[in-house]
Amino acid sequence: STEIDDVIRKSTNLLLTRTLSNCLQYAMKKKNVGLAELVQVIINTTQLEASCVYLEEFISNITNVPPDTANATKLYGTSTFKDARHAAEEEIYTNLNAKIDQFLQLADYDWTAAQGGGAPSDYLSDLIAFLCSTFSVFTHLPGKVAQTACMSACKHLSTSLLQLLLETDVRQVSMGALQQFNTDVKECERFARAGPVPGFQGDTLLLAFSDLRQLLDLFTQWDWSSYLADYGRPTCKYLRVNPHTALALLEKMKDTSRKNNMFAQFRKNERDKQKLIDTVVKQLRNLISAHQT
């Protein structure tokens, strides 16, 4: 009868929206929940969502009331599992970013180094190894989830590395330190280019590091004439380099130029080197001022 059908459906909804949903929320919000567990929640809820149609059939077979009958109570199974899956996805993105932050706390750059070490920093190598291992588990996830997690992680890593470079505590940055930093960013790009999860077209994942890449190219190639001449044009080689960011980093390098020979490749005389930096600083300030008015 329709009354029995209504009771069964309402009871089933209570089981789904309260009991089962609460259990899933508790499992995801545990303090030490791992990425593998969150991946399993997504796999399970995807399967459960797909099986909701069979639950509808099962109840209809018991009560002899078709699920599309007028006024029949709708089952909330699909929406419950979908909500739980989306919550697990968000937890994965948050969890991944937190792990990346833990590795970045181990970064120990010598910001006044005369030259780079030539190999990626240990903390960065460990971080890339962790990401490779993590994304190998993501092969069981729906494609878009794995891709979003990977792009989110790369963007977070890129943004965090830039913040590390621009930290107010870092008052001086030598060309040697910048070369080491550049080596680390190249390692990040190598990881992105290797396609840690399938489904990305071309070098899409590399775009996450494009802001950093253009900034580092500008400094390591000392290509200020191109930057200043082409600024604001759509075809500008350094389109993603914010002049405020460039100025902030240049000011850090200005402080060290009096203390070592990092600009020896540009000018032999120390006074000329300082004058060169001062000139670029002045031009950058003029550029910023011109675009603010």
Say if 120 falls within a structural domain.
Answer: no
Distance between CA 36 and CA 15 in Å, rounded? 26
Structural domains of the chain, count = 1
Say if 63 falls within a structural domain.
Answer: yes
Q: What is the pLDDT of residue 245?
A: 96
CA torsion angle 219 224 228 233 (round to 10): -60
Q: What is the pLDDT of residue 121?
A: 96
Distance between CA 71 and CA 245 in Å, rounded? 61
Alpha helices by DSSP H, listed for 110-204, are 122-137, 143-166, 175-193
Q: Tokens at residue 158, please?
A: 């890129």
Distance between CA 222 and CA 214 in Å, rounded? 12
Domain coverage including residue 77:
1-105
Q: Give the angle subtended at the CA of 271 by the CAs of 266 and 273, to the nearest 5°.
A: 25
What is 233-253 written as a DSSP string? -TT-TTTT--HHHHHHHHHHH
Distance between CA 133 and CA 154 in Å, rounded? 15
Distance between CA 205 and CA 134 in Å, rounded? 16
Cβ-proximal residues to 76 (8 Å cutoff; 6+ apart), any chain: 13, 16, 17
Say if 3 falls within a structural domain.
Answer: yes
What is 2-21 written as a DSSP string? HHHHHHHHHHHHHIIIIIIH
Q: What is the pLDDT of residue 267?
A: 46
Say if 238 falls within a structural domain.
Answer: no
- State which amino acid sits at residue 170: V
Say if 169 falls within a structural domain.
Answer: no
- State which amino acid sits at residue 198: P
Nearest partner of 189 among 222, 154, 215, judged by Cα:
154
Q: Tokens at residue 119, please?
A: 């190999």
Q: Per residue of the chain (293 residues), give pLDDT as tens.
A: 788 888 998 898 888 888 888 888 888 888 788 888 898 899 888 888 888 888 888 888 888 888 777 667 788 888 888 899 999 999 999 999 999 999 999 999 999 998 888 899 999 999 999 999 999 988 888 878 999 999 999 999 999 999 999 999 999 999 899 999 999 999 999 999 998 998 888 889 999 999 999 999 999 999 999 999 999 899 999 999 999 999 999 999 876 555 555 555 544 556 677 788 888 889 999 988 888 75
